[in-house]
């Protein structure tokens, strides 16, 4: 999606990726096309991502997505209708509609449940090297509930399954045991330590780097099944 950039655009992108990830998971559980649901989630706010304008998000994003997808010729007419109609009616929460329409609404709702919580999730994607680095922060009052671990796991699945990346990296301050516990719990390998990585609160902090490759993630995932 081409754009000129505006303040807050990165947050919009994070929202789109988050909704797409939830839509993909919901599609898997409900037995419908995971890829179609993920694309719908990723494009549901494409007008806002391009323009920074959040007016009539359903119709405006459906029109923007229509122009983008018809040029790519990746989907059948039936699939295009599903994607565009789901985006168009995303705010019609009082009406029960088709499978994909309801998946998108539920995915938006699930992602919004993270927003009031004092947390931050970032995902810096390097398509050229087929890798991404995930960053996170959570308010102290919400620690210990597994919120970040679940959210990071969703991003990891999206990176490997939807984006086809080869590796995901996570960095954490050496003395931040809670932050380091997340990649360790998810099966990441410790790859090294960067000394004096950042200057925070009057002192230099070292940073531990963790990595997880796609074959390692699939091996861990198969052991869970």
DSSP per residue over 8-62, as a string?
THHHHHHHHHHHHHHHHHHHHHHTS-HHHHHHHHHHTTHHHHHHS--SSHHHHHH
Q: What is the mean pLDDT of residues 187-205?
A: 92
pTM: 0.53
Give the pLDDT score at 119: 54
Would you state the structure tokens that stand for residue 58, as one six-digit string? 């359903």
Q: Are strands 131-138 and 167-173 parallel, antiparallel or unpaired?
A: parallel
Q: What is the pLDDT of residue 3?
A: 45
Chain-wide mean pLDDT for the chain? 85
- Count CB-CB contacts under 10 A for residue 165: 20
Burial (0-12, 13-18, 19+ Cβ within 10 Å), 196:
exposed
Burial class (CB in 10 A: 0-12, 13-18, 19+), 129: exposed
pLDDT average, residue stretch 209-225? 86
Rounded mean pLDDT, 13-35: 89
In whole angstroms, give the CA distance from residue 80 to residue 185.
39
The predicted pLDDT at position 114 comes to: 60
Q: For 13-50, b where at least 16 C-beta lie within 10 A, e where not — what string?
A: bbbbbbbbbbbbbbbeeeeebbebbbbbbbbbbbbbbb
pLDDT value for 7: 62
Whether the predicted pLDDT of 83 surpasses 50:
yes
**What order do you get walking across the sheet with 189-200 strand by strand?**
119-126, 131-138, 167-173, 203-213, 189-200
88: nearest Cα among 40, 50, 52, 23: 40
Q: Which neighbouring-strand residues pair with 199?
A: 204
Residue 190's beta-bridge partner residues?
210
pLDDT at 39: 94
pLDDT band at 55 (very low <50, low <70, confident <90, very high): confident
What is the model's pLDDT at position 93? 80
Which domains does the chain show, CATH number per domain? Answer: 9-112 (1.10.3210.10), 119-224 (3.40.630.30)
Residue 95's pLDDT band, with cuts at 50, 70 and 90, is confident
* pLDDT on residue 100: 96
**pLDDT at 138 (0 to 100):** 64
Average pLDDT over residues 76-88: 95
Percent of the chain with pLDDT over 70: 87
pLDDT of amino acid 2: 43
Q: Which residue has the higher pLDDT, 113 or 132?
A: 132
């Amino acid at each position: 999606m081409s754009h000129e950039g505006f303040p807050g655009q990165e947050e919009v992108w994070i929202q789109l990726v988050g909704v797409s990830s939830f839509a993909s998971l919901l599609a898997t559980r409900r037995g419908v096309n995971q890829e179609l649901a993920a694309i719908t989630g990723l494009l549901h706010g494409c007008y806002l991502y391009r323009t920074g304008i959040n007016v009539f998000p359903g119709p405006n994003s459906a029109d923007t997505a229509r122009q983008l997808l018809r040029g790519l010729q990746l989907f059948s007419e039936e699939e295009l209708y599903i994607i565009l109609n789901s985006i168009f009616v995303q705010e019609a929460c009082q009406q029960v509609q088709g499978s994909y329409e309801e998946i998108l609404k539920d995915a938006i709702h699930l992602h919004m449940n993270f927003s009031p919580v004092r947390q931050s999730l970032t995902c810096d994607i390097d398509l050229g090297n087929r890798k991404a680095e995930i960053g996170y922060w959570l308010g102290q009052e919400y620690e210990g509930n597994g919120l970040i671990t679940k959210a990071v796991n969703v991003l990891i699945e999206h990176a490997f399954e939807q984006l086809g990346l080869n590796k995901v990296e996570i960095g954490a301050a050496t003395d931040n045991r809670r932050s380091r516990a997340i990649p360790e719990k998810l099966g990441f390998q410790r790859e090294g330590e960067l000394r004096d990585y950042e200057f925070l609160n009057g002192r230099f902090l070292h940073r531990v780097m963790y990595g997880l490759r796609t074959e390692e993630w699939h091996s861990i995932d198969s052991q869970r099944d």
